[in-house]
Structure 1
Amino acid sequence: MRNGSGSLARLGRRSPTRDLARPGARQESLREANLLLITEEIFASTEPLSRADLSVRTGMTRSTVSRLVEDLLAAAIVREGSPLIGPSRGRPAVPLMPAPRTLAGLGVEVNVDFMAARVLDLTGSVLAEAMVEGDFRSSDPAEVLGAAGDLAVRVAKEAGATGATVVGTTLALPGLVAEDERSLLLAPNLGWIDVDVVDLLCASAPEGVFGQSVRVANEAKLAALAVAQELTEVDGEEQTFLYVSAQMGIGSAVVINGIVEAGPHGWAGELGHISVEPSGPDCSCGSNGCLEVYAGKHALLEAAGLPASATAEDLIYLVKSGLGHPEQLQTQAEEALSRAGWSLGIALAGAMNVWDVHDVVLGGEFGPLTDLLRPHIEQQLQRRVLAARWVEFRVRESGTGPAPATSGGAMRALRAVLDAPEAWVPTS
């Protein structure tokens, strides 16, 4: 991981000069702003920085930087590495980096066919994780969230055994989340409407085990956050892309310069419910002809003649080798993929015309199918994107592994540390 960070510093970055620009700013406010700036510089850097490096980057005096760094060390937000002896005479530089196994975030996910929990520390390392498969369609939210809460408690305690303290928890759900970040408005594939999910998740949890705050967010947007981190490490620069993932339905998000663009209500990027064919089949959301009824996991497998329990790998093998089935079934599978790629291309073309974003990352069940879907997607992009003649499209696979929303949720929870490092500095 790049210096153990990167993505954490991009979560809702606040301007470190917000108080400096205000006439009559209190000395305390200046200190908080400077501490925030130092923290962001350490976490966003691709290489460990010394106190001298921080002084040059921020324009602060070395004595000011040293005092602020001591606060971050006391708060266990950063740690010192081994001194680096340079070619010049003088005191060796001491590199500063995110502290491992001190403060941590907990991400929890409930999806249609699994629930999972994962704890990440400030370096991005996984301290504990667990996943349980199940069928949660049309389920009882109290029962399912109670089980997810028990799973999350077990994972949080396992992380605590490493010496880490969970500072907060983020629950990922496949649906529309209310602005209060406590309630779920609608999750069609779960069959949930107007549920206070935070209360149900925490109902039997010991006090404090989930940290100082528990919030809920859209699963696809949290997954996109984890993907942005992954791709930034690979490419060495902030990422801009449309993220589309298939589980039972389709989740999606828009990422611009490493920031997930959620919109004023947090509902932006719902490509799965763009109608690609207004006269098409009914969708579980109440509309019809949605992308999800053509390219969702259930729809794709059904169209290919495979059972709902089949995987993307099963579909690939059927298309490439026939799996011992009649040629007619292989042709049916190829047509199902063509139809899914066609519908994805139409929905993505519309999004590109609105957002001016031309990179696509496919996750979930779409990931392994990327090579098979890409030609059909790109055919529609070339036809339907107004700027197609002047841009280069890129459709690639996400490599984040299973349940990326749990990683994104843990990163989101750790935002509390990086947005307000002064709150974690000991007062005595």
Structure 2
Amino acid sequence: MTTTGPARQASLRERNLAIVARAVVDAPEPLSRADVAARTGMTRATVSTLVDQLVEAGLLTELPAVSSGPGRPAVPLAPAARTVVGLGLEVNVDYLGGRVVDLTGAVVDEIVLMENLRGSPASATLGRLGRLARDLIARVTSRGMRVAGAHLALPGLVDTRSSVLRVAPNLGWSDVEPLPLLGLPAGVPVRVGNEAKLAALAQLWGCPVVERTSRTFLYVSGDVGIGAAIVIDGELFSGRHGWSGELGHVTIDPAGPTCRCGASGCLERYAGKEALVTGLGLDIDVANDVLVDRLSAADAHSVVGTAGAALGQAMADAVNLLDIDRVLLGGVYTGLVPLLRPQITEQLRTRVLGAPWAPVDVSAAPVADHAALTGGAATSLRAVVDDPTPWIVAATG
């Protein structure tokens, strides 16, 4: 039998620090200390003490005072810029890179190298990414920033309990332990996750609050592979092993073409980037903006129609199962939303049982450019916001 004793004063303080930090970071407009007190139910004196500690630790900053009438002008609070930063890393089929993001959501540094990585050796590729990451870390720390942590995004099944990449069919990798191969400094904690899931988290934490469209959505990312992530009330649904969201391997036609995963008729074979470029007679390395322009031409309607119908069919299955009424399209699909939406929405209208009462909204993801890099960095920073105490302890020595 377990018992729960009274909360320690230290744990109560830690919880209150996190509540104040989240209130300021998640606010659509800068809040004053009085605003924070009103939103959290804490006394102004308590909030003022906690805010002072968060400011001293470089997590929050005070903006110029604003006068709204008689009395002392209010001092707005905001996340601090270029103090504590997160690092997002990614290997995908056509690029590898790193991005550094600060608490305001601004990108303060990045390196992205475009190249074909299909079939590349995992050890060599991750070793290169590690050198790139160490370069970024050195650059930002030389400017006085502290790196909270890093997240590595990979396009495949990642066992989040063991940090092992089980399989990434489009890279040709299987049973890889990626984190030791990066060789990041011991003081920078690093985790690994699925590319689409980290890109989905970018839609929650990697853009200004006013641009966040929903806290419940299905995120679908298009590249050579098709990834997806399920977000419910602001929480990522990962599944038992962390493998949820493999929409690209939903069967469209059991008698269809063979997929790299070994099955036949997967969605990737109808709506992935490889299917799109093949239908147009283009090379797989074509830039996304060029692909979008070609798909907008009149002679590409059949390619777009096939992809949109297949996407809509797979999304309808997901919506029927999950009861989600918003779909965000990312990756190459972001620029194709106007072209794909008619076919997708027609499939959703006819295949989703609840569509007459709850139509499904399909729109472009707010964070589109290498979203997994932003999501990885933002996820590391979110850990700081949710538990700022270690940073306050470090700041006070």
Task: Determine if the TM-score, normalized by the shorter chain, exceeds 0.5.
Answer: yes
Would you say 1:27 and 2:9 are equivalent positions?
A: yes
TM-aligned CA deviation for residue 310 of structure 1:
2.9
Q: Take 1:35 and 1:390, find their aligned partners in 2: how far apart are those partners? A: 42
Match of residue 314 from structure 2: 347
What is the aligned partner in structure 1 of residue 161 from structure 2? 180
The answer to whether residue 75 in structure 2 is matched with residue 114 in structure 1 is: no
Report how far residue 187 of structure 1 moved: 0.7
In structure 2, the residue matched to 1:37 is: 19
Task: Output aligned runs, 1:315-326, within 5 Å.
Answer: 315-318=291-294, 320-321=296-297
Q: 2: distance between equivalents of 1:69 and 1:231?
A: 23
CA displacement at 1:391 relative to structure 2:
2.0
Change beyond 3 A, Cα 1:315–1:403? closer
1:277 paired with 2:253, answer yes
AA at the equivalent of 1:270: E
Q: Quick one: which amino acid aligns to residue 203 of structure 2? A: V
- The residue matched to 1:392 in structure 2 has which SS? coil
The offset of 1:249, in angstroms, is: 1.0
Indicate the larger mover: 132-141 or 297-306. Answer: 297-306
Point out the more displaced range, 66-75 or 253-262. Answer: 253-262
Do the aligned partners of residues 80 and 194 (structure 1) sit closer, same or farther apart at CA in structure 2, a change above 3 Å counting?
A: same
The reply on whether 1:139 has 2:139 as its aligned counterpart is no
Q: Is 1:218–2:189 an aligned residue pair?
A: no
Deviation track 1:116-155 (CA, whole Å, cap 9, x = no partner) reads: 1100111111110111011111111010001111111222
How far residue 103 of structure 1 moved from its aligned partner, in angstroms, is: 0.6
Among 304, 323, 334, the alignment partner of 1:356 is: 323
Check conservation: 1:173, 1:217, Cα contact below 8 A: yes
Q: Equivalents in 2 of 1:237, 1:403: separation in Å?
A: 19
For 2:270 and 2:63, the matched residues in 1 are separated by 52
Corresponding residue to 2:243 among 243, 260, 267: 267
Find 2:30's aligned residue among 35, 38, 48.
48
SS of residue in 2 equivalent to 1:279 = coil
Q: Which of these residues, 79, 91, 96, is aligned with residue 61 of structure 2? A: 79
- 1:179–1:266 Cα contact (<8 Å) kept: yes
- Verify the 8 A CA contact 2:330 2:365 in the aligned structure 1: yes
The separation in 2 between residues aligned to 1:265 and 1:419, in whole angstroms, is 24
Aligned to 1:6: none
Q: AA paired with 1:346?
A: Q
Residues 339 and 144 of structure 1: is their aligned pair in 2 closer, same or farther, counting only changes over 3 Å? same
Matched-pair contact (CA < 8 Å) for 1:312–1:369: no
Q: Is the 8 A contact 1:300 1:340 kept in 2?
A: yes
Once the 2 structures are TM-superposed, how far is the Cα of residue 340 of structure 1 from its aligned partner? Answer: 1.1
Distance (whole Å) between structure 2 residues aligned to residue 289 and residue 172 of structure 1: 26
Q: Which runs of 5+ in 1 are unaligned?
A: 1-20, 323-329
1:249–1:297 CA contact under 8 A, matched in 2: yes
Could you tell me which of 74, 79, 83 is aligned with 1:93?
74
Aligned CA RMSD, in angstroms, stands at: 2.1
In the alignment, which residue of structure 1 is the partner of 2:86?
105
Q: Percent identity, please.
A: 46
Give distance in 1, aligned partners of 2:281 and 2:311.
Answer: 20
Give the Å deviation of 1:256.
Answer: 2.7
Distance 1:49 1:197, change over 3 A: same
Contact 2:229 2:236 in 1 (8 A): yes
Work out the CA distance in 2 between the residues paired with 1:412 and 1:236.
16
Distance 1:411 1:318 in 2: 33
Residues 278 and 108 (structure 1), Cα distance of their counterparts in 2 relative to 1, 3 Å cut:
same
C-alpha distance in structure 2 between counterparts of 1:169 and 1:292, whole Å? 29
Q: Deviations over 1:249-307 (max 9, x none)?
A: 11111223333322232211110111111121111112111101111111221133222
Superposition pairs of residues 135-214 of structure 1, within 5 angstroms: 135-180=116-161, 182-202=163-183, 205-208=184-187, 211=188, 213-214=189-190
For residue 45 of structure 1, what is the amino acid of its counterpart?
Answer: A
Pair 1:420-2:387 in alignment: yes
Q: Using structure 1 for the length normalisation, give the TM-score.
A: 0.86
Does structure 2 retain, via aligned residues, the 8 Å contact 1:181–1:217? no
Alpha-carbon distance in structure 2 between the residues aligned to 1:215 and 1:368: 30
Other-structure match for 2:232: 256
Q: In structure 2, do the counterparts of structure 1 residues 320 and 207 end up closer, same or farther at CA, with 3 Å as the change threshold?
A: closer
For residues 321 and 215 of structure 2, the distance between their equivalents in structure 1, rounded to whole angstroms, comes to 18
Alpha-carbon separation, structure 1, partners of 2:285 and 2:152: 26
Offset, 1:373 = 1.4
Give the deviation of 1:343 after TM superposition: 0.9
Question: What residue is the counterpart of 1:69 in the other structure?
Answer: 51
State how far apart, in whole Å, the 1-side matches of 2:303 and 2:86 are. 40
Equivalent AA in structure 2 for residue 298 of structure 1: E
Q: Report what 1:385 is aligned to.
A: 352
Question: CA–CA distance in 1 between the matches of 2:293 and 2:388?
Answer: 50
Give the corresponding residue for 1:243. Answer: 219
Q: Which letter maps to 2:228?
A: S
Q: Give me the whole-angstrom Cα distance separating, in 2, the residues matched to 1:415 and 1:346.
A: 35
Amino acid at match of 2:237: E
Contact 2:253 2:266 in 1 (8 A): yes
Question: For residues 407 and 320 of structure 1, what CA distance do their matches in structure 2 show?
Answer: 28
In 2, Cα distance between equivalents of 1:234 and 1:425: 29
Structure 2 distance, partners of 1:73, 1:316, is: 45
**Cα distance in 1 between the residues matched to 2:83 and 2:207:** 26
